[in-house]
Amino acid sequence: MALRDQLRIMVVDDMSTSRGLITQALDSFGIRNVASTDNGATALKAMETAPVHLVISDYNMPEMDGLKLLQSLRTAPKTKGVGFILITGRAERQIIEYGKKLGMNNFLKKPFDPNDLRKCIEAVVGRL
């Protein structure tokens, strides 16, 4: 019984291609409990009824960007302990540091290969 069998992940990205790439990679790691959505608001709502262990979110999204989502997660009692990985095209110091302040667990710069994603996840939750 490995961690990957139990880990529940929420993928948030406004671009369906990115969602596809991430879920495809997670699938290749054997992680089956993956949900995805194209915006932060839906993600928050969904997590109320179906909690997850880890959120993997894009930074640059309309309406609610990845860090605003993180902020909301950290302020709600039900989700404040959830793991959070930010995926970003530009790892600007300002963004990363603000993320760190908000309690971001890790980040990953685009483009990435599945192995990068795996390492990034394992650094947060442990060996898959």
| Contact positions with another protein (CB under 8 A) in 73-102 | 77-83, 89-93, 96-97, 100
**Element housing 75 (H / E):** helix 66-75
Structure tokens at 93: 């110091």
Question: Which of 51, 75, 101, 115 touches another protein (CB under 8 A)?
Answer: 51
Of the candidates 12, 50, 7, 13, the one whose C-alpha atom is nearest the C-alpha of residue 29 is 7
The crossing angle, in degrees rounded to 10, of helices 66-75 and 40-49 is 30
- Interacting positions 20-49 with another protein (CB under 8 A): 20-21, 23-24, 32-39, 42-43, 45-49
The reply on whether position 71 binds another protein by CB under 8 A is: no
Confirm if 38 and 13 have CB atoms less than 8 A apart: yes
The reply on whether position 8 binds another protein by CB under 8 A is: yes
Shortest distance, position 28 Cβ to another protein, whole Å: 9
Question: Which of 29, 60, 68, 74 touches another protein (CB under 8 A)?
Answer: 60
Shortest distance, position 16 Cβ to another protein, whole Å: 6
Contacts (Cβ under 8 Å, ≥6 apart) of 42: none
